[in-house]
Amino acid sequence: MNKNLRKAVIAGNWKMNKTPAEAKELIEGIKPLVKDADCDVVVCVPYVDLSVALEATKGTNIGVGAENCHWEKSGAFTGEISADMLTSMGVQYVIIGHSERRTYFGETDVTVNKRVRAALDSGLNVILCVGEYLEQREQGITAELVSMQTKIALGGVSKEELKKIIIAYEPVWAIGTGKTATAEQANEVCAVIRETVKDLYDAAAAEGLTIQYGGSMNAKNAKELLDQPDVDGGLIGGASLKPADFAEIVKAASR
């Protein structure tokens, strides 16, 4: 983590958890614990919790994000939410391309790019997820795969627009399994992402890009992961639902 070059960002991904009442309670628990954070703090919540989250975080240092958005502004897409709908509420961030969207809901590299384009056009900050499955790591193609995902997702994105993008490296085999890439493994792939961005844009763009680690970062391993030079934050799953644990990760990123 190099705060001289880029922002450290800790973002909670609540996934399909918490009713609106529970969301309010969780945010109220988090607020006092992160109020002095020296990093950006974000909670990405289910659609039904967005209004409550926006109200509960007013006047605080906590940003609010959604967990997905569609690539069209409107239309016959039952069950989907557009980027304009999110910005009209005051939402600041959106997660795109999460491995669970790719695995369970047919997300592809092409649709990820379309969603990124729609989110940027609406003024949202994007948390763009890339990462490999266990079989792909065992085949030794992690670097090629993650580089390809990054290139496709950033297709048509200008250097100026890149400033509104955070890339989260998520080894799919480490999400929700309790397994975690070693700090060195995490940094190695984050460095591949940075090098890919350098090739696409230039060194300054790559050095300014915040790259998170998103594979089961928790209160115990956060410091070791965040000590790595190319790991600039975390996209936090289970630990983001526990105020004390989430605060510990924020603390580790605030050093």
Q: Is the pLDDT of residue 154 over 70?
A: yes
Give percent of the chain above pLDDT 90: 89
Tell me which of 98, 100, 107, 248 is the catalytic residue: 98
Phi, psi of 64 (to 5 degrees): -120, 135
pLDDT band at 224 (very low <50, low <70, confident <90, very high): very high
Q: Is 39 helix (H, G, I), strand (E, B) or coil?
A: coil
What does DSSP assign to residue 1?
-
Number of domains, the chain: 1
Q: Closest Cα to residue 235, out of 147, 144, 129?
A: 129
Is there a domain that residue 1 lies in? no
Give percent of the chain above pLDDT 70: 98
Is there a domain that residue 3 lies in? no
95-109 burial, b if ≥16 CB within 10 A, otherwise e?
Answer: bbbbbbbbeeeebeb
Q: Calculate the average pLDDT of the chain.
A: 95
Sequence letter at residue 190: C
Residue 17 Cα to chain centre, angstroms: 17
pLDDT band at 179 (very low <50, low <70, confident <90, very high): confident
CATH number, domain of 48, equals 3.20.20.70
Tell me which of 107, 132, 170, 248 is the catalytic residue: 170
Is there a domain that residue 112 lies in? yes
Residue 177: both structure tokens together: 């399994």
Are 171 and 136 in contact, with CB atoms under 8 Å apart? no
Mean pLDDT, residues 38-65:
98
Its domain, for residue 86, covers: 9-253
What does DSSP assign to residue 82?
B
CA distance 232 to 20: 30
Is there a domain that residue 2 lies in? no
Question: What is the model's pLDDT at position 176?
Answer: 67
CA distance 33 to 67: 23
pTM of the model: 0.96
CA distances from 178 to 56, 181, 188, 216, 224 (A): 30, 10, 20, 6, 16
Beta partners for 82?
A: 70
CA distances from 60 to 28, 144, 190, 210 (A): 11, 40, 30, 22
Sequence letter at residue 250: V
For the beta carbon of residue 74, count every other beta carbon within 10 angstroms.
Answer: 10
CA distance 150 to 195: 11
CA distance 72 to 43: 24
- Annotated catalytic residue 70: no
Is there a domain that residue 96 lies in? yes
Question: What is the model's pLDDT at position 245?
Answer: 97
CA distance 255 to 246: 15
pLDDT in tens, 95-151: 999 999 999 999 999 999 999 999 999 999 999 999 998 889 889 999 999 999 999
Question: What is the model's pLDDT at position 99?
Answer: 92
Is there a domain that residue 127 lies in? yes
